[in-house]
Structure 1
Amino acid sequence: MRRIILASASPRRRELLKQLIGDNFVVYPSSYEEPPQPGLGPEELLLKHSVEKARDVAKHFCSGLVISADTSVLYEGEVLGKPGSPENAEKILEKLSGKKFRVITGLTVLDLDSGKGISELESTNVWLAELSKDQISAYVRTGEPLDKAGAFAAQGKGAVLVEKVEGDFFNAVGLPLFRLGKILERLGVSVFDEGFS
């Protein structure tokens, strides 16, 4: 069975990958800093970050498959990353209240044995419910939005804020499982192999 390396410290990505292949992977977070890249659009930037994260982790392994992802929320051409503070989280949620936006993930899988790499984008449309100031404040007080792109977690308490999802729900959580499964297949790995049960 191939060694799978997840280049992310995200507990959400860890849980999603576990759902797909069980505990058959190691977690090795990337130390790539995601510097600004003038001239790159949001999609290009997410792809670049996912590639660089994978390359950064690949340096520490001789064989296996490195999986990395970079997810952001895109609203009216603006990238909404992690708020980092309660004040910023409230501003982002006020902006997204009652609106449709896109959750975009740049996904990269590097096959260290063959030298092949595949990078693709996944986009999911999300509609947030109309939120009152009290609802926003109460949600921000839970602390959940502070380290989430777009200041909400579709798989956590934030699930009650999400009115509708069009596309890959798992992408809205941070790891597009359908696309990942297809990429792994193209690299000769099936999630249905006995070793992944």
Structure 2
Amino acid sequence: MPSDNLLKQIEFIKEIDKLKYIQRKTRLLNSDRHENDAEHSWHLAMMAIVLAEHSNEPVDILKVIKMVLIHDIVEIDAGDTFIYDAQKNHSNTDEERIAANRIFGLLPGEQAADLIAVWEEFEAGETKEARFARSMDRLEPLLQNTSNNGGTWAEFGVDYNKVYGKKKVIKMGSEAIWGFAEMLIDESVEKGILKKNV
């Protein structure tokens, strides 16, 4: 007979399969297909592994990977909020808190508390691991939009100031990656795929 812990863990694993159905506004690199949250989280985990040497400070890479893999699980219930949404703030909301408690609460108590704490740490963005994880979260859509002739910037009329304002979070986790990101943003303006209001 399976243990109570195992049954709870399997229930959680089945529940998070729903992340594969949460569509993001951004499209895959060089593609018209929208990315889903599971693909996004996987990509961030790989980016964190590959780019860890560029973090401003040495990080616990396993913790960073945990952060990026679980950070959007709450969107199963709360939905994806577009980072440039003018109506809804892209920050920790009451809906996300309720979702975190429900979804992570499917797990055994200690495991649920651990993942909620990791999720909260990512959302707060104050530790070196959270800062680096958040830099990955801001870099990936930048790579996507620059590969798609402006992607969501063009589709939703997002200008340079908004992009620069949201992307400068990258600097908190990695000065080196921020330098690269700034270069991509500037090149996007030069190519005309990102509008700079004067």
User: Which structure's residues are more often helix, by fraction?
Assistant: 2
Q: TM-score, normalised by structure 2?
A: 0.30
User: Which structure's residues are more often strand, by fraction?
Assistant: 1
